[in-house]
A = this chain, B = another copy of it.
């Protein structure tokens, strides 16, 4: 029993343990992707009508497997190297509150909720299954790196988006003052003008709303050119965060190496 737990821990969490462990992990990855494909495809009404039983059966199977996975991971977590997870009771609770365990919970919870309450909008419920995609982050080191950078720079990114939102708000106010009386249905109030200014500052530019007067065009032109500098902030933040994170990892790796050499382990 304990050896099975140890093997499962290596297979599921460390992703080592021979061909069967590899197969297990690949199977789980494929299942997640298949689930996402199913959500996307069954949203096409005609297809869902034609294959409804199959989709229902596939959903039940998937939830069963993901629930089993969730329970198994909670069982094996005490094998972890981290001392925090090794206590049978408190360690397991700590594990169940970790981000990855919560992602696993979110992947199955909506199904059980709808089973017991049955009141939710079915379309919303089905779409929630897309969050199972988050389970894939377990399998990619570079994805984990990017998410770490995004999380570390979250403060700066939010500030950059705040500055961007201020620019959007100010340009919406400007165009409302300048062209509000010319195109009242599009620029007649700040909330209406916000759509145009968000689409413009982000350089999406659908073209469904466009200034037509000379003053409006001069104002928009200024906003558009200024916007390039402001919209470049997130790229700058992420680049600097990326460089720092990679440097930090290199240095901590070098530190580990030196310590290992001093201890004579290498």
Contact = CB atoms under 8 A, between A and B. Distances in A.
Interface of A: 36, 39-41, 43-45, 123-124, 127, 130, 133, 136, 140-143, 145-147, 149-150, 155-166, 168-170, 173, 176-177, 180, 188-192, 194-195, 198-200, 202-208, 210, 217, 221, 224-229, 231-244, 246
Contact of A229 (B127, B141, B147, B160): B160
**Which 4 A-B pairs give the minimum distances between C-beta atoms?**
A236-B238, A204-B205, A232-B235, A206-B207
A244 B246 CA distance: 10
A236 B239 contact: yes
6 contacts: A44-B191, A140-B162, A146-B159, A207-B207, A229-B234, A244-B246
Given A177-B123, A191-B44, A225-B165, A240 B237 contact: no
Number of copies: 4
Given A124-B177, A159-B140, A228-B231, A221 B241 contact: no
A236 B233 contact: no
Contacts of A206: 205-207, 210
Given A202-B227, A233-B238, A239-B240, A163 B143 contact: yes
Contacts of A226: 161
Nearest to A141: B155
B168 A225 contact: yes
B225 A189 contact: no
Given A163-B143, A205-B205, A190 B39 contact: yes
Nearest to A164: B225
Contacts of A159: 140, 142-143, 145-146
A249 B21 CA distance: 39
Contact of A221 (B40, B158, B198): B198
B156 A142 contact: yes
A168 B234 CA distance: 19
Given A164-B225, A195-B217, A206-B210, 18 more contacts: A40-B191, A43-B173, A43-B176, A43-B191, A45-B188, A123-B177, A146-B237, A161-B226, A161-B228, A198-B221, A198-B224, A200-B204, A202-B225, A203-B203, A205-B205, A205-B206, A235-B235, A236-B242
